[in-house]
DNA sequence: TGGCCAAGTCAACACCTGTTGACCTAGGCT
DNA sequence: AGCCTAGGTCAACAGGTGTTGACTTGGCCA
């Protein structure tokens, strides 16, 4: 029996996400991805054109942020941190994106779009200076993802979920809703 | 006139730091580094042995954290954030280290040592759970460096220094000195 | 002056990369 | 049956990589 085109394409996509997440853009080779998907490098090219487009397809990502305006104000920060943790864990995509973004301009562009536009849109309506607040939240949540899932810094990686929420929740909360500390 | 061995060695080291910082470990090639240092790839090998050792030499780094116990308690956070900003800006080393650490295990190891041991040592004496607090501070400061200097997220990269200090200072301060929010 | 050694040059190696094009083959269609 | 096409295989390409070894050259010392 032979696989359908869509089946192989999906297998390639999954393998690509795993490789990009584990190795970054340049160390993830088409040959390795093809081998993981039990297929031939040439088929990868036929399905996705070239390595850049394969990455673009594998790293398609949306934060799927909840509507923050319907939440009780005091739970904002914790809810958001919890959401980020789940987004990191349920998928290899964010890890692939971050590992690649550090050396690949296309990946960096996508990160900018995600952590600037998407976050700023969600932050709008809570307080003024939505973009600045989105940037602050990005700095803390990306730092968490970097330390916990990419660099695997002992204390951060081993921290129980509840501890992360208890410490970072208030930080994100403040970034989103507190008054500008420089005003006045 | 011919350069001394030490002069070329130093030129190579500088070029290597810049290339590793700009391109990451795999995209920074010995040939490019040699060209930047106006020398020959073979000389790079003679001076440093191989690429791994060259990176190790180029990414030699110490946070040089101030003694936190002598500081007024309420300035702890701001002082530390300011110190990190300066450490990122005065040198390409931290950027080289972070860009490489994402795909290179040796670089990741060094990052772990720096942002776990060095920070935990400085945090000891301020409160209990020094390692946990070091991890929290690492997540915020590395996130800041990542967003501001590596990914260059608009809002974070353009934020004036004073704004960074005003927002992140209190966060770091809390991570270092506040009581465990889960206790009791 | 002649010799010696550090410093620099050059060409090649073995290997790996993305990518291409020619080829084969299973299996549903008329 | 026989064809046609989607799916798969294979070998090769051009280019770039870290690394090596043999060679040349400049400048100091005896």
Give residue-wise pLDDT tens across range B47-105.
999 999 999 999 999 999 999 989 998 899 999 999 999 999 999 999 999 999 999 99
Helix, strand or coil for residue A155?
Answer: helix
H or E element at residue B177: helix B161-177
What is the predicted pLDDT for the residue at B174?
97
Q: Which of B77, B74, B87 is nearest to B165 (CA)?
A: B77
Distance between the alpha carbon (CA) of B103 and the C1' atom of D20, Å = 27
**Nearest nucleotide (CA of B38 to C1'):** C8
Q: Both ends of chain A: CA-CA distance in Å? A: 73
Is the pLDDT reported for residue A21 higher than 90?
yes
pLDDT for residue A181:
94
Q: Chain A: residue nearest B116 by CA?
A: A153
pLDDT of res. A94: 97
A-chain residues near B102 (CB < 8 A): 24, 98-99, 102-103, 150-151
pLDDT attached to residue B157: 98
pLDDT for A184 equals 72
Query: For residue B78, what are the CA distances in angstroms to A31, A75, A141, A170, B160?
Result: 49, 27, 20, 18, 14
User: Would you give the DSSP letter of residue B180?
Assistant: P
CB atoms within 10 A of CB B5: 11
Q: Report the C-alpha gap between A174 and A40 in whole angstroms.
A: 51
pLDDT of residue B118: 96
Q: What is the pLDDT of residues A113-158, one digit of tens each?
A: 999 999 999 999 899 999 999 999 999 999 999 999 999 999 999 9
CA distance A64 to chain B (A): 20
Long-range contacts of B94-98 (CB under 8 A, 24+ apart): B94/B61, B94/B145, B95/B21, B95/B145, B95/B149, B95/B150, B96/B17, B96/B20, B96/B21, B96/B58, B96/B59, B97/B59, B97/B61, B98/A102, B98/B142, B98/B145, B98/B146, B98/B150
Q: Which residues of B touch A128 (CB under 8 A)?
A: none
User: pTM surpassing 0.75?
Assistant: yes
Quick one: pLDDT at residue A5?
A: 76
- Quick one: closest CA in B to A111, which residue? B151
Of all protein residues, which has its CA closest to the C1' atom of D21? B42
For residues B145 and B38, give the distance between their C-alpha atoms in angstroms, rounded to a whole number: 31
Hits for CB < 7 Å against strand C across B residues 42-71: 42-43
**How many angstroms separate the CA atoms of A176 and A137, rounded?**
8
Could you say which nucleotides of strand C lie within 7 A of any protein CB atom? 6-11, 16-22, 26-27
Cα A77 to Cα A164: distance, rounded to the nearest angstrom: 11
Q: Looking at the predicted structure, is the pLDDT value of residue A3 above 90? A: no
Give phi and psi for A127, each to the nearest 5.
-160, 175
Over residues A40-77, the pLDDT tens digits come to 999 999 999 999 999 999 999 999 999 998 999 889 99
The structure tokens listed for B157 are 């990269």
Per the structure, the residue whose CA is closest to nucleotide C9 at C1' is: B40
């Amino acid at each position: 029996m032979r696989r359908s085109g869509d089946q192989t394409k999906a297998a390639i996509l999954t393998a690509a996400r795993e490789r990009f997440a584990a190795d970054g853009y340049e160390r993830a080779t088409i040959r390795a991805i093809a081998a993981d998907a039990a297929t031939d490098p040439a088929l990868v090219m036929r399905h996705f054109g070239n390595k850049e487009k394969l990455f673009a397809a594998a790293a398609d990502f949306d934060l799927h942020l909840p509507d923050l305006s319907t939440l009780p104000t005091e739970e904002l920060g914790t809810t958001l941190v919890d959401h980020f943790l789940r987004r990191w864990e349920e998928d290899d995509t964010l890890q692939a994106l971050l590992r690649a973004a550090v050396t690949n301009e296309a990946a960096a562009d996508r990160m900018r779009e995600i952590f600037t536009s998407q976050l700023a849109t969600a932050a709008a309506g809570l307080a003024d200076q939505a973009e600045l607040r989105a940037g602050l939240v990005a700095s803390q949540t990306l730092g968490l993802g970097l330390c916990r899932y990419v660099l695997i810094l002992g204390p951060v990686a081993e921290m129980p979920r509840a501890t992360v929420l208890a410490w970072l929740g208030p930080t994100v909360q403040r970034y989103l809703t507190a008054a500008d500390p420089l005003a006045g």
